[in-house]
Amino acid sequence: MQETIQQIKTRLQQPIASVELERLKQDPRQGVQLAVQQYERRQQKRAHQQAAFQQRLQFEQRYWQAGDLVAGIDEVGRGPLAGPVVAAAVVLNQHFGLWEVHDSKQLSLKKRHALVPQIKAQVLDYAFGVVEADEIDALNIYQAARKAMTLAYQNLTQQPAALLIDAMELDVEMPQTSLIKGDDRSISIGAASILAKDYRDRLMATYAEEYPGYGFEKNAGYGTQEHLAALDQLGVTPLHRNTFAPVKKRLR
């Protein structure tokens, strides 16, 4: 009995043998040919993504080939007017296979939420560093970001032999590589970017319950129109960074 087009479409949702694919290409039905073309496009896209994934593992593989662990570190939250700066450090397992891991800014909220538990389940270790608003004001945001990254590294249980860091150098006695746009070039840093953003977004959502009206659950502390209007109407909270100009001019 001949397979229906729908049955073939369902089967093509998973990889099939090349011999079977060639057989389907001989099927005269237009619906089958369309399904085959869509399948081949998906497979080509997947192959491209997997090749890019391997390219973004090149920095980690240099250490793995020597039998060493390496941690990727990234931070989020330099730009917001409120809330902490948060960093994450991630030590990958050499068999880590989440090729969708990328710079968190390039991922949808839904995709980030799906990846976070998968990342945590597959990595050897991860940790966070948090520097609150009052310390950001005392240090300046650049130094606060460095401190958050240092704390994330220090909070790891697994001791890496080296660090891969997104556009930063830390004041630690440890071999380290600073990578411009590192979250787009290294899987370790990309994974750290995703975990740090998820951690900070969830933290800001809890702060939204304590300080309603500022929209922290939506804007994560960034200076949206809603947030600026709330500053005018409700005033400055202990979460706000008083040295940031939009907050500073509203201090009473």
| pTM (two decimals) | 0.85
Q: How far is CA 183 from CA 15, 71, 75, 110, 117, in A?
A: 30, 13, 10, 19, 19
Q: How far is CA 238 from CA 80, 190, 225, in A?
A: 14, 31, 20
Residue 21 reports pLDDT greater than 80:
yes
Residue 178, strand partner residues: 165
**For 105, which DSSP code?**
G
- Name which CATH class applies to 58-198: alpha beta
Please state, in angstroms and rounded to a whole number, the distance separating the CA atoms of residues 137 and 132. Answer: 9
Highest mean pLDDT out of 13-22, 93-102, 234-243: 234-243
pLDDT band at 170 (very low <50, low <70, confident <90, very high): very high
In the structure, how many helices (H) and strands (E) does the chain have? 11, 5
Q: Give the H or E element holding residue 128.
A: strand 125-131
**Predicted confidence (pLDDT) per residue in 24-66, tens digit:** 999 999 999 999 999 999 999 888 888 888 899 999 999 999 9
**Predicted confidence (pLDDT) per residue in 75-127, tens digit:** 999 999 999 999 999 999 999 988 788 756 778 888 899 999 999 999 999 99
**Residue that the structure tokens 């729908």 belong to:** 6
Compute how many other C-beta atoms are within 10 angstroms of the C-beta atom of residue 228: 16
